A and B are shown apart, each in its own frame.
Chain A
Amino acid sequence: MRSSGTVADAATAPALSCEHVTKRFGRLTALRSVDLTVPPGQCTVLFGRNGAGKSTLLHIVAALIRSYEGRVAVFGEDLRKGGERSRRAVGLVSHDSYLYNDLTALDNLRFYARLYGAPDVEQRARSLLTRFDLEAKARSSVRELSRGMKQRLSLARAVLHEPRLLLLDEPFTGLDEPACATLSGMLADFVARGGAALLTTHDVERGLEVAQRVAVLERGAIALEVPAAGLDAAAFRHRYRELLEG
Chain B
Amino acid sequence: MLKTMAAILWKDLKIELRTKESMSAAFVFSVLVLVIFNFALDLDTAQARRLGAGFFWVAFAFGGTLALNRSFAIEKESGCTRALMLAPVDRSGIYTGKFLANVIFLVATQVLILPLFAVFFDVPVGNRLGTLLLVFVLGAVGFSSVGTLFSAIAANTRMRELMLPVLLLPVTIPVLLAAVETTSYALGVTDDASFWFKLLVVYDVVFVTVGHLVFEYVLEE
Interface residues of A (CB under 8 A from B): 59, 62-66, 83-84, 87-88, 90, 92, 94, 96-103, 107, 111-112, 114-117, 141, 157
Contacts and interface: CB of A to CB of B under 8 A. Distances in A.
A90 B4 CA distance: 19
Contacts of B15: 100, 102-103
28 contacts: A63-B86, A64-B82, A64-B85, A64-B221, A66-B220, A66-B221, A83-B88, A84-B88, A87-B87, A88-B88, A94-B79, A96-B82, A97-B78, A98-B78, A98-B79, A98-B82, A99-B80, A100-B78, A101-B78, A102-B15, A102-B74, A103-B11, A103-B18, A107-B14, A114-B6, A115-B7, A116-B87, A116-B88
A193 B14 CA distance: 35
A111 B220 contact: no
Contacts of A96: 78-79, 82
- Give the interface residue-count category, chain B: 20 to 34
A92 B86 contact: yes
Given A111-B7, A111-B10, A114-B7, A98 B18 contact: no
B86 A101 contact: no
Contacts of B221: 59, 64-66
A141 B19 CA distance: 11
Interface of B: 3-4, 6-8, 10-11, 14-15, 18-19, 74, 77-80, 82-89, 220-221
Main secondary structure, interface of B, reads helix
Contacts, number: 71
Contacts of A157: 83
A111 B167 CA distance: 31
Contacts of A87: 86-88
Given A64-B221, A87-B88, A98-B80, 15 more contacts: A66-B220, A83-B88, A92-B86, A96-B79, A97-B79, A99-B78, A100-B11, A100-B78, A101-B77, A103-B11, A103-B14, A103-B15, A111-B10, A115-B7, A157-B83
Count chain A CB atoms within 10 A of each CB in B3, B8, B82 and give the residue with the most.
Answer: B82
A69 B77 CA distance: 31
B220 to A, nearest CB: 7
A157 B221 CA distance: 21
